[in-house]
Amino acid sequence: MSENTVIKLEQAKIYQEKALILDDVNVTIEKGQFVYLVGKTGSGKSSLLKTLYGELPLKEGSGHVSEFDLKKLKSKQIPFLRRKLGIVFQDFQLLEDRSVNQNLVFVMKATGWTDKQKIKQRMNEVLKLVNLEDKGSSMPHELSGGEKQRVAIARALVNEPEIILADEPTGNLDPETSERIIHLLSDISMSGTAILMATHDALLMEKYKSKTILCSEGKVTMS
């Protein structure tokens, strides 16, 4: 795997327990690439993402995310793999009883940050990146859907990941807010962090063309 490659799957078979979901998967994603992941509901998109972040084991074929070999991945390595990844979900998954700052601190401490000064500095940096530097003390219920998703993106950025896996990040947002989120993710990719974004939004994909991975009838094609 070249030093610019952040994800490489070769002849991989993606399983949910014993059910084969995707067969003969060959995917390469380089640093700074923005790639859409598309397919009908139930086509295997989420299973592919879960394999990449270690929730589903890779049983056959080969797969690497950063320096991690998915075939040999041990459960104790999964937290270290996830430090290389930022994960953004459709439903934000913020802790509702904690402020924006506390949400970020929670993730940072869970992934090994201990120096209070460095935590504060990095927290301020990522909130500035997503244009929420004035929202640190806000509670999630005080934020709009777009702001919540930007907090989720800030949280995904705290460990300076090599790639962000975004699972339908605009699925609960209106079209204008969705465009802002795409712009933000696009800017992040231009700074060197690869983005793999699962989406159903054909209008956004038409407007912001990029490489696409299609899951269909148990197969994966990249265009």
CATH code, 82: 3.40.50.300
> Would you say residue 144 has pLDDT above 90?
yes
Number of domains in the chain: 1
> Would you say residue 2 has pLDDT above 80?
no
Q: What is the pLDDT confidence band of residue 21, given thresholds at 50, 70 and 90?
A: very high
Strands (E), the chain: 5-16, 19-30, 34-38, 60-65, 68-69, 85-89, 163-167, 194-198, 211-216, 219-222
Cβ contact 193:185 at 8 Å: no
Beta-bridged to residue 165, according to DSSP, are: 87, 196
Tell me: the pLDDT tens digits for 160-179? 999 999 999 988 889 999 99
Structure-model confidence comparison of residues 35 and 202, the more confident one: 35
In this structure, what DSSP letter does residue 33 have? -
From the centroid of its chain, how far is CA 13? 21
Please give the model's pTM, rounded to 2 decimal places: 0.91
> Would you say residue 22 has pLDDT above 90?
yes
Tell me: the pLDDT tens digits for 39-73? 998 899 999 999 999 999 999 999 999 999 999 99
| Token code pair at residue 41 | 């509901």
Beta-bridged to residue 25, according to DSSP, are: 12
The pLDDT value given to residue 166? 92
Mean pLDDT of the chain: 92
| Token code pair at residue 216 | 């269909």
- Domain boundaries, position 36: 5-222
Rounded to whole angstroms, how far apart are CA atoms 60 and 25?
A: 10
The pLDDT value given to residue 79? 84
Q: Mean pLDDT across the stretch 20-28?
A: 95
Give the torsion sign (CA, 203, 209, 210, 214).
positive
